[in-house]
Amino acid sequence: MAYNIAEDLWYQYFTADGPQWLILLFMYGFRTLWAAIGILVDLGIVYITVKTPSLRSICNILIATESFCALVLNLGYFISFFVVASGTKFIRYEHCFWALILPSLFGTLAQPVMVFTGLDRVFAVACPFWYQQRSAKKYLALVSSFLILYGIFVFVVYYLDYMQTKDIMLSCSTHEMLQSSLAPIMKFSGLAMSALIIIVYTFCWFFVFKFASTSQNVTENNRKLNKSLMFIIGLNLFGVFAKIIIDQILQAFLVANVFIHTPYSTVYSFLTIAVYSANAPVLYIMSSEYRARFDQHFPWIVKIYGKIARSTATVMPSATPPRPWIIINNGIGPAMNGGITPRHI
């Protein structure tokens, strides 16, 4: 169906005279600030990985790669803010496709990187001898080859979608892409990657924490690293399934209403930023190695983290029940008379 700008209610509402465009400015402005925080923490992971020789294992490199993908995705959220803040508010898709494709592409590649990170952890525990003898360069070359091929596939789908919808008016936000009949292809691809993530990290959990023959050989640092990765993956899957459930609810009970779906997509992008940028805060809290490297390269974090820890610290009540026969008496020794009489301490 050809795009008809007169039927685009979202465009008509926000281009009409009045202060309603300030809603877009606030919405995209706040998201840009949120994305800026994500960029900083993602950049932190990439920086300490590059600067620290002890963080050069395949797993560490893949974690940094995922954070770099999230960093590029977060940069894409600035585009919509600049379009709205300039007063233009909307431009044709053909004028912003090339600015959006890179953030969208890297954001999509983050999922297969998560899969390869999980596979690395499974191999490290389930096949330790092979893992120690393997060629890191060959493994990373295999990962890179897959990411390139998958990236080409993603680009082709996005480009074909763009050719069918290049006349639509957008605020140049990544969630406004994929509005043609090709959208289900990327949706299925994303769900397939999520299924792989579930399978891989289920094996990881089993070998690290449940299977005695392998779990006993896992060091405490690696155990904490695996816990961190599983927590991060849990956040990712929570976001995926929350979106699926909400999409189904909207499709089942509501007519396609742009004033519901578009704000919902924008709100969901806040969750995407939080999940994709979770590596740094989670690893800082749960991994002593990453925390030490962050503290080394960013000493101001120690002060902030220390203040937060002190402000949230609470004195736990004693589990010892009150004993009325014990009386504090300025250090004078105990007086025992054979019965249950007060004991002076």
Does a structural domain hold residue 336? no
Does a structural domain hold residue 161? yes
Does a structural domain hold residue 268? yes
Contact criterion met (CB below 8 Å) for 238 and 256: no
Residue 195 CA, chain-centre distance (Å), reads: 17
Q: Is 91 helix (H, G, I), strand (E, B) or coil?
A: strand
Tens-binned pLDDT, residue by residue, of the chain (345 aa): 577 677 777 778 888 877 888 888 999 999 999 999 999 999 999 999 999 998 989 999 999 999 999 999 999 999 999 999 988 888 999 999 999 999 999 999 999 999 999 999 888 888 888 888 888 889 899 999 999 999 999 999 999 999 999 989 888 988 888 888 898 999 899 889 989 999 998 888 888 877 666 666 677 777 777 788 888 888 878 877 777 777 777 665 554 566 676 777 888 888 889 988 899 999 998 888 899 999 998 888 777 766 666 666 554 554 445 544 444 444 444 444 444 444 333
What is the CATH classification number for the domain harbouring 215? 1.20.1070.10
Residue 130 falls in which region: left (phi positive, over 0), alpha (psi -120 to 50) or beta:
alpha
Does a structural domain hold residue 10? no
Does a structural domain hold residue 270? yes
Q: How far apart are CA 190 and CA 181, in angstroms?
A: 16
Does a structural domain hold residue 326? no
Taking the whole predicted model, whether its pTM rises above 0.85 is answered as: no
Total domains in the fold of the chain: 1
Residues in the chain: 345
**Structural domain for 142, as ranges:** 18-301
Does a structural domain hold residue 117? yes
